Structure 1
Amino acid sequence: MATIVNTAQAQAWNGYEGEHWAAHHDRYDAVNSGFNRPVLDAAQLGDHDRVLDIGCGNGQLTRLAGRAARHAVGVDLSEPMLARARSTATAEGLRNVTFERGDVQVHPFPPGSFDAAVSRFAVMFFSDPVAAFTNVARALRPGGRLAFVTMKDLRGTDLGTVMAALAPHLPGWQPSTTPNPAPDRPSPTLSQPSPAPGQPSPTPDRSGPLSLSDPDHIRDVLTRAGFRNITVTHVEAIANWGENASAAAAFFSDWGPVRHNLADADPAPARAALEAAFRPFETGSAVRLRSTAWLVRADRL
């Protein structure tokens, strides 16, 4: 049985959240797939490489890595998404791709068993990022490569515009703390919980959608975990949210964090606000938003 220490995320991803992502894997991949190539290019995969996909979700990045390398292993907390990942890999005839349930922070990877590790919007939700990246470093051979994307602040982005339209329907929500729905690891709620009176504000080490949004903090975490040659680069991609504004609003409303936060709100005006916010992004037969992220590249010591 897998050892799980990140219990809050495990609960979310083995409930509604994971089931929704597994059932709508094609829709989520349409939102996220623009970041696949930047990650894979940064990882510099070769024919003989063994690759670890951290927080693999439905497995699209894992499968792409498997096509570029000797073998790829995807690890995730979510049984529904792992089932989808295995099913799709089998349907595509990929025999060099495998999937394991595990908490990357403590998963017993054989030391030095991978040449590269990749991730698409999963690493922000480690409960202890230094411990998790230290475990990843241990799983990599000396000089092994790490490449991942993590979210940036949404202010000034297309998705930030959509989220701002939803704000009046979510009392207490702060745009600057909104997670990016594009990542494969959204938070169970739309914003970080506020500290109790007299308690300190959340620190950068706190897990959550913005936990790795500060480049200096990223460098500090990775350095402490045993990485060097760390680069943090702004990247952009186009996210396809649906065939029209109505479809995009419906899909967005069913995304776990939005659905959770709208539970006590009137859904009709919230849905209307979302549809109006998506409408300016309709282009031909799709709703296309510009997504932004930090692309991080590092080498194991």
Structure 2
Amino acid sequence: MADELLTAESNQPQLTAWNGISGAFWTDNADRYNAGVAEFHERFLDAAALRPTDLVLDVGCGSGQTTRDAGRRAAAAHGVDLSQRQLALAATLSADLPNVTYEQADAQVHPFPAAHHDVVISRNGTMFFGDQHAAFTNLAATSRPGGRLVLLAWQPLERNEWQQVFRSIVAGGTAPQAPPPGAPGPWSLSDPDHVRTLLTGTGFTDVRLEDLRGRMYLGADAEDAFGFLSGQQATALAELDPAARAEAIDALRETLRAHESPEGVHYDSAAWLIRATRADT
């Protein structure tokens, strides 16, 4: 049960969210979230350079797409996440892959086997740690000397049109302000200098960041995307007064129509492909 899980105090808000409304919405919309980052997915997996003998740890695996695809390339893949509901879906979708396993775990403090994994991967899953230094120290400890770390994380807010637009709308037109690097959230690994300092200080070396640009897919058409986003942003919209909420809904529909094409609704996005190596000990 979630209340028995070994969890860092700093990650308690994440545990609550991912076993509550956020986890339920992500599970119900797993295909949409996977489609959203589809333009990054293969580049991320290819960067891991997985070999048939590799043991892979997938951090923040969600519904398990990255874990399953890693398992198809490696000897074994183990996915961890805080969300029980997403993990249940992941296990169902992985029934035909005996070398793929899942576990509810807080990767910041979970007692992973020492020097065990050849590769640690995470597609947008390591941005939410309450204590980044403790988390990456723990991930370094479970990596073999010379093991690889491969992460996908968002670049700064101003380079991600989709986040700029939607955050401004649900804030009633106010320009969104990103938290400082390191603060838990989508932008915690957005500053390259912070990433290099963090990883070299927690047991990794040869830290490299590659600039990836792609289109974020949000729906087959504007109405489809509106149904998804109005659900995703339901809490923020509910906090607005009725007049502001009506304006936000109109603005959301307008921007989605402006981004509609025969291929669906897309917004520009930018991510870092982060690679590092576990330092020899």
TM-score, reference length from structure 1? 0.85
**How far is 1:161 from its partner?**
5.3
Match among 260, 272, 278 for residue 294 of structure 1: 272
What is the aligned partner in structure 2 of residue 226 from structure 1?
203
> Equivalent residue of 1:288, what SS?
strand
Task: Tell me how far apart the structure 2 counterparts of residues 283 and 95 of structure 1 sit (CA, whole Å).
Answer: 40
Give the structure 2 partner of residue 185 of structure 1.
Answer: none
Residue number among 131, 135, 138 corresponding to 1:132 in the alignment: 135
Contact 2:159 2:270 in 1 (8 A): no
User: Is 1:175 aligned to residue 176 of structure 2?
Assistant: yes
What amino acid maps onto 2:22 in structure 1? E
Would the alpha carbon gap of residues 98 and 231 (structure 1) be closer, same or farther in structure 2, given more than 3 Å must change?
same
Cα pair distance change 1:269/1:78, threshold 3 Å: same
Q: CA deviation at 1:160?
A: 4.4
Q: Mind listing any 5+ residue stretches in structure 2 that lack a counterpart?
A: none
| 1:180 match | none
Q: Distance in 2 between matches of 1:23 and 1:214?
A: 32
Larger CA deviation: 155-164 vs 3-12? 155-164
User: For residues 144 and 239 of structure 2, what CA distance do their matches in structure 1 show?
Assistant: 49
Give 1:132 deviation, angstroms.
0.5
Render the CA deviation track for 1:106-134: whole Å, top value 9, x for unaligned. 11110111100111111111111111111
1:146 counterpart = 2:124? no
Shift of 1:252: 1.0
Once the two structures are superposed, residues 64-101 of structure 1 have per-residue CA deviations (whole angstroms, 9 ceiling, x without a partner) of 101111100000001011111111111xx111100000
8 Å CA contact retained: 1:51, 1:118: yes
Partner residue of 1:58? 63
2:215 touches 2:266 (CA, 8 Å); kept in 1? yes
Percent identical across equivalent pairs?
41
User: How many angstroms does 1:261 deviate by?
Assistant: 1.4
Matches within 5 A, 1:1-80: 1-5=4-8, 6-80=11-85
- Residue 164 of structure 1: CA displacement? 6.1
Cα distance in 2 between the residues matched to 1:125 and 1:263: 24
Q: 1:37 & 1:138 partners in 2: Cα distance? A: 27
Who is 2:181 aligned against?
Answer: 204
SS in 1 for 2:158: coil
Q: After superposition, give the CA deviation of every residue in 1:166-220 in whole Å (9 maximum; x if it has no partner).
A: 15626xx54242xxxxxxxxxxxxxx5xxxxxxxxxx533222222111000001
**In structure 1, C-alpha distance between the alignment counterparts of 2:46 and 2:235, rounded to whole Å:** 36
Which of 193, 202, 214 does residue 191 from structure 2 map onto? Answer: 214
Q: Is the contact made by 2:168 and 2:175 (CA closer than 8 Å) also made in structure 1?
A: no
CA contact (8 A) 2:157 2:187 kept: no
Deviation at 1:34? 2.3
TM-score normalised by the chain length of structure 2: 0.91
Measure, in 2, the Cα distance between the counterparts of 1:119 and 1:36. 11
Q: Which consecutive unaligned segments of at least 5 residues does structure 1 have?
A: 178-191, 193-202
Cα distance in 1 for residues equivalent to 2:83 and 2:170: 29
Deviation at 1:285, TM superposition (A): 4.5
Q: CA RMSD in A?
A: 1.7
| Distance of 1:278 and 1:156 partners within structure 2 | 18
8 A contact 1:167–1:174 mirrored in 2: no
8 Å contact kept, 2:56–2:77: yes
Partners of 1:289 and 1:166 in 2: how far apart? 15
* Cα pair 2:164 2:176 within 8 Å, conserved: no
